[in-house]
Amino acid sequence: MASKLLKVHPSDNVIVALRDLETNSIVEYDGAHYPLPYGVMAKHKFVTEDIDTGGAIIMYGVLVGRATQPIKKGEPITTFNLRHDAHDYSTALRQPYSYTQPDVSKWANRTFQGYHRADGRVGTYNYWLVLPLVFCENRNVLIMKDAFERELGYAQTDLYRRHVQAMLQAYQTGDQSQLKKIETFVDQQERTGKADRPFPNVDGIKFLTHEGGCGGTRQDANTLCALFAAYAVHPNVAGITVLSLGCQNSELKTLEDEIKKRDPEFNKPFFAFEHQKGTEYSLMAGAIKETFNGLTQINQFERSAAPLSKLSVGLKCGGSDGFSGISANPVLGQLSDILVGLGGQTLLAEFPELNGVEQELLNRCSTEEKAAKFEKLMRDYAGKAEAVGSAFAFNPSPGNIKDGLITDAIKSAGAAKKGGNAFIADVLNYTERATVPGLHLVCTPGNDVEATTGQTAAGANIILFTTGLGTPTGNPICPVAKVATNTKLAERMPDVIDFDCGPVVDGTESIEENADNLLEYVIKAASGELTKAQQLGQDDFIPWKRGVSL
Cα-based angle 313, 295, 463 (whole degrees, multiple of 5): 10
Predicted confidence at residue 176, as pLDDT, reads 80
Nearest to 78 by CA among 68, 93, 89, 88: 68
Considering just the CA atoms, what is the radius of gyration of the chain in Å?
25
CB-count exposure of residue 155 (10 Å: 0-12, 13-18, 19+): middle
* pLDDT tens readout for residues 283-305: 999 999 999 999 999 999 999 99
- Type of residue found at 392: F
The strand ranges marked E within 184-342 are: 204-207, 237-244, 270-274, 304-307, 312-317
Whether residue 320 contacts residue 411, with contact meaning beta carbons closer than 8 Å, is answered with yes
Question: Phi and psi (nearest 5°) for 264?
Answer: -60, -25
Predicted confidence at residue 394, as pLDDT, reads 66
Predicted confidence at residue 548, as pLDDT, reads 62
HSE value, Cβ hemisphere, 13 Å, CA-based, for 243: 32
Nearest to 144 by CA among 273, 237, 238: 273
Predicted confidence at residue 397, as pLDDT, reads 80
Predicted confidence at residue 399, as pLDDT, reads 82
Residue numbers of the chain with a pLDDT score lower than 50: 1, 189-190, 192
- This prediction has a pTM of 0.93
Q: What share of the chain is helix, strand, coil (3-state, %, to 5)?
A: 35, 20, 45
Whether residue 145 contacts residue 129, with contact meaning beta carbons closer than 8 Å, is answered with no
Q: Where are the alpha helices (DSSP H) in 153-299?
A: 159-172, 177-181, 218-232, 252-262, 280-298
Predicted confidence at residue 190, as pLDDT, reads 47
The separation between CA 435 and the C-alpha centre of its own chain, rounded to angstroms, equals 20
Predicted confidence at residue 188, as pLDDT, reads 60
Nearest to 44 by CA among 321, 396, 317: 321
Whether residue 371 contacts residue 46, with contact meaning beta carbons closer than 8 Å, is answered with no
Predicted confidence at residue 300, as pLDDT, reads 98
Rounded to an integer, what distance in angstroms lies between the CA atom of residue 423 and that of residue 101?
A: 10
- Beta-strand relationship, 312-317 and 462-467: parallel
* SS3 labels along 142-183: HHHHHHHHHHHCCCCCCHHHHHHHHHHHHHHCCCCHHHHHCC
Rounded to an integer, what distance in angstroms lies between the CA atom of residue 316 and that of residue 109?
A: 27
Predicted confidence at residue 1, as pLDDT, reads 45
In eight-state DSSP terms, residue 240 is E
Predicted confidence at residue 192, as pLDDT, reads 45
Question: Phi and psi (nearest 5°) for 297?
Answer: -75, -50
